[in-house]
Structure 1
C-alpha cells in the first residue's frame, strides 16, 4: 500500500464479490457493472471505504465488514403492517418476498413483503443485508485524485 500525502479525495473503481457468513455469493460484478466511489461522498459503506485507503491499481484484497460498518442491524420499527391499498397492485398478486416502494417523494421507502393477511400486509423496510457480516473480495481497477472543482 502506498502512503498518501494529499488531502484531495480519491476516486476508486473496482471489481468485487460479496459473500455472506455462509460463504454464499450475494452480489458480484462478474458479468455486470463494476462499482466506483469517491472517498467521503457517502455512497460506499464505511467499512469498505476504509479498506481502500492507500490502495493502488491492481491491488487484490479481501476484507470482512461487520453490520455496524455496512448496512446496520435490523430495526424492529422498520417492520410494520400496512393496509393493502398502500401497495398499488392487485391485492391477489401480492406474495411473500415481493419488493415494493411505498409512500412518495422523500417519504418513500423500499420494503419486502414478509406476510400477507386479510387485514393487512406485513412489510420489512430493513436493508436485505442488515445484520450480516459481509466478506468482500476486491480487485482495484482505477485509482485517481478527484479534482477540487468536481467535488
Structure 2
C-alpha cells in the first residue's frame, strides 16, 4: 500500500475545526485531489500527511500562528456604511466578500457597526487560533494519477 510522500497524488477529505466544534473549512462532499508539495495545502499541514496511507483517519492539533499568522491590528478597518449595498442588513460576525482593485475576492468579518460606519476585520478567520486538522485519506498514488471520474458509490 502506498504511503504519502512528497510528490504523491492524494485524494482526501479534510476539515479545519475549532475547539468549539465550528468547522471553518472542509472538503465537504467533494474530496480534495492534489499532489503533495504543489501548494494546495500549507506546508505545515502537508507535513502532517507524510507517511499516512489509504483508509487512515487522523486529527492533528494545530497551534495558533503556525499556519495562519497572528491577527494584525492594521487589518481591522473602519469603512463608510455607503460602501455596502443599500438596505443590506449588517450584523456583527457576518462575513462579507469585498473585491480588491485587482478583482480578487477578500472576505472580511464585520466586528462593529456605528453611526454611518462599519468596522471590518480582514484577518484570516483562523488567525492566531488553535484548530484541529482532521483528515480521511481516500487514495494515495505515488506515481500515476488518481481516477477522478470513476469511483462508484
Query: Who is 1:40 aligned against?
Result: 37
Residues 70 and 85 of structure 1: CA distance in aligned 2, closer, same or farther (over 3 Å):
same
Instruction: Report the aligned-residue RMSD.
Output: 2.8
Q: Distance in 2 between matches of 1:44 and 1:79?
A: 26
2:58 maps to 1:61: yes
2-side partners of 1:31 and 1:70: how far apart?
21
1:73 is the counterpart of 2:67: no
The residue that corresponds to 1:135 in the other structure is 132
Q: Decide whether aligned partners of structure 1 residues 146 and 90 sit closer, same or farther in structure 2, where only a CA change above 3 A counts.
A: farther
Report deviation, 1:121: 0.7
Equivalent residues, number: 142
Query: Measured at CA, do residues 107 and 83 of structure 1 come closer, stay the same or move farther in structure 2, by a change above 3 Å?
Result: farther
Tell me the equivalent position of 1:116.
113
- C-alpha separation in 2, matches of 1:11 and 1:36: 7
Map of 2:148 onto structure 1: none
Is the contact made by 2:4 and 2:10 (CA closer than 8 Å) also made in structure 1?
A: no
What is residue 20 of structure 1 aligned with on the other side? Answer: 18
Q: Is the 8 A contact 2:12 2:135 kept in 1?
A: yes
- The alpha-carbon deviation at position 29 of structure 1 amounts to 5.4
Structure 2 residue ranges without an equivalent (≥5): 145-153
Query: Which consecutive unaligned segments of at least 5 residues does structure 1 have?
Result: none
Q: Tell me, in whole angstroms, the C-alpha distance in 1 between the residues paired with 2:67 and 2:82.
A: 33
CA distance in 1, matches of 2:97, 2:4: 44
Between 102-111 and 39-48, report the one with greater CA deviation.
102-111
Greater share of helix: 1
Query: Equivalent residue for 1:96?
Result: 92
Alignment correspondent of 1:10: 8
* Cα distance in 2 between the residues matched to 1:117 and 1:76: 19
